[in-house]
Each structure stands twice: as structure tokens, then as C-alpha cells.
Amino acid sequence: MTQHITTAVLILTMALNTAATAGQSHAGSETDGVVLLGQCYAFILKEPAGWVLDTTVAKSSGLAATLYPEGSSWKEGISVMYVRVIYKDKHKRTLGDVVQSDIKELKSTNRNTTVSSMPAVTTRDRKRALMRHFYDAQNKNEEAVAYIDEPCVVVLVVLSSRTRKDYDWSLEAFRQLAGSYFFVHELAGR
């Protein structure tokens, strides 16, 4: 166990040094942010200005992080963002499988859900996040989802809004959050 922690710290340090010397990124040359670490992955996200990033409030719901506007809360926010990590398995082997599963799951709860493509976002580590917009007609919720493919996981960065006005207001912050993504390293085993 100690060897895994030491290896993870060494990998994170090397990745941060590499990112700092590269100097070119979608979200500027900054490598700051919060390191999200789990079985098989480590990545960094930087919260947009005016947003609070919390890694504890929804951990029991399986979310790696939640974000909400300053002065609001995860529970009361009209627009919130969250990060979820989906492990690839025999049913979800590819990014496409994860996206299709997500669409199927959302449409099973509300058949009037509409899904449309959005322009991709380039992350700090030069990946292209596949983007989808979901509209839940029954609940009038708007969601934008960035799907980021990694070797053993797909990272979902999600904006969820209860009104179209707040969705539109939050969309740029969502793009900034997805663009701040930087994969550090695939960690050994699950």
C-alpha cells in the first residue's frame, strides 16, 4: 500500500513538472487545480471563477467532485456541475459504449429526453472531450456532458440546470471546467 502511495505521489509530481514546462494548454499554462484520485486514475480539474469545487458533499453518491456557484450550495443550486468516473468493463468497453449507455439510461426514465451534439472542448492535456446536450422535457432540466476517454475509465464532467436561463449563464463556466481537465496518470489496478 505504501509503495502505491509513493508511486502515485511521484507520478503526480512528474506530471505537474511536465505540464508546467510544456507551457501550452487550452486553459493557459497554469497547472493548478484539484487532484482527483481513484482506483486506476488521477486527474486535475480547476474550478472556474465564481464556483466552489467540493470533493466531499456527494462522495456517497459516487461523484468525484461537485461544483456550485459561490453563495449557493450543492443541494440548493439552480445550476450545479459534477464529475463522475465510469469504469470500463465488459458492457462499457469504449467511450461510445458509455455515451450510448448514458443516453439509454436517461431516455428510460423519460422518453421525451432529447440529445444533441455540442462542439468538442479541448482539455489542458490536448484531449478532445466529446460533448452532448440533454434536455429532460418532463422535468425541464438542461444538461451538458463532456465525456473524456482514458485507458480504463471515462470521466464525465456534467452541468445540470433547472432553468434554461441558468444553463445559458453557466455554460461558459462548464466549458472552462472541462477545458481545465488534465489526466495525470493511469494508476495500477482496480
Burial of 34 (0-12, 13-18, 19+ CB in 10 A): middle
Q: Give per-residue pLDDT as tens, 101-153.
A: 989 988 888 888 899 999 999 999 999 999 999 998 888 899 999 999 999 99
The residue that leads in pLDDT, 80 or 27, is 80
The residue that leads in pLDDT, 15 or 151, is 151
Q: Are strands 114-122 and 51-54 parallel, antiparallel or unpaired?
A: unpaired
The reported pLDDT for the residue numbered 11 is: 42
Q: Give per-residue pLDDT as tens, 143-190.
A: 999 999 999 999 999 999 999 999 999 999 999 999 999 998 766 555
The reported pLDDT for the residue numbered 111 is: 81
Q: pTM value? A: 0.82
Q: What residues does each domain of the chain span?
A: 2-185
Between CA 125 and CA 46 the distance in angstroms is 13
Secondary structure (3-state) at 43 = strand
CATH topology of domain 2-185: Protein Transport Mog1p; Chain A (3.40.1000)
Least confident of 11-25, 51-65, 140-154: 11-25
